[in-house]
């Protein structure tokens, strides 16, 4: 099974600081690496994603860095705000499988609980 290892498990930063969350993955059927954000009592929601043709993707204060050779990618949150306090999940597609359904499989990391203090 696809393994997606996420760290740290929890993270506390001060308002205005930089939050960094890391993920490592194994072989995937294709290169697509999203980050999801989840608030208490809600389902996860897509935050930002990177596709195979770039090594970095930036949307506002959120940036994904992607290192294909190391099979790692990370989320950077610049100028962290208390409203960013949530659980963050990285995800990766499944490995190629004999049934040919791996293109529909998305495996998530263990999650990082981010707390931003005012």
Partner 1 sequence: NAGVTQTPKFQVLKTGQSMTLQCAQDMNHEYMSWYRQDPGMGLRLIHYSVGAGITDQGEVPNGYNVSRSTTEDFPLRLLSAAPSQTSVYFCASSYSIMGGYTFGSGTRLTVV
Phi and psi, residue 17, nearest 5°: -80, 180
Nearer of residues 4 and 116 to partner 1, judged by Cβ:
4
Q: Which residues of this protein are in contact with partner 1, per CB under 8 A?
A: 1-2, 6, 9, 32, 34, 36, 42-46, 49, 51, 89, 93, 97, 99, 101, 103-111
Report the distance separating Cα 107 and Cα 34, nearest Å. Answer: 10
Nearest distance from C-beta of residue 1 to partner 1, angstroms: 5
Residue closer to partner 1 (CB basis): 55 or 103: 103
Looking at beta carbons only, is 30 or 79 nearer to partner 1?
A: 30
Q: What is the C-alpha separation between 37 and 90, in angstroms, rounded? A: 9
Distance between CA atoms of residues 13 and 32, nearest Å: 28
């Amino acid at each position: 099974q696809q393994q997606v290892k996420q760290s740290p498990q929890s993270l506390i930063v001060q308002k205005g600081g930089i939050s960094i969350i890391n993920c490592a993955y194994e072989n995937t059927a294709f290169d697509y690496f999203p980050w999801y954000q989840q608030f208490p009592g809600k389902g996860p929601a897509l935050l930002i994603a990177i596709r195979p043709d770039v090594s970095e993707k930036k949307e506002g204060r959120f940036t994904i860095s992607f290192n294909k050779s190391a099979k790692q990618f990370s989320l950077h949150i610049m100028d962290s705000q208390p409203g960013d306090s949530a659980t963050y999940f990285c995800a990766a597609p499944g490995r190629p499988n004999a049934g040919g359904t791996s293109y529909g499989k998305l495996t998530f990391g263990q999650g990082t609980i981010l707390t931003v203090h005012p």
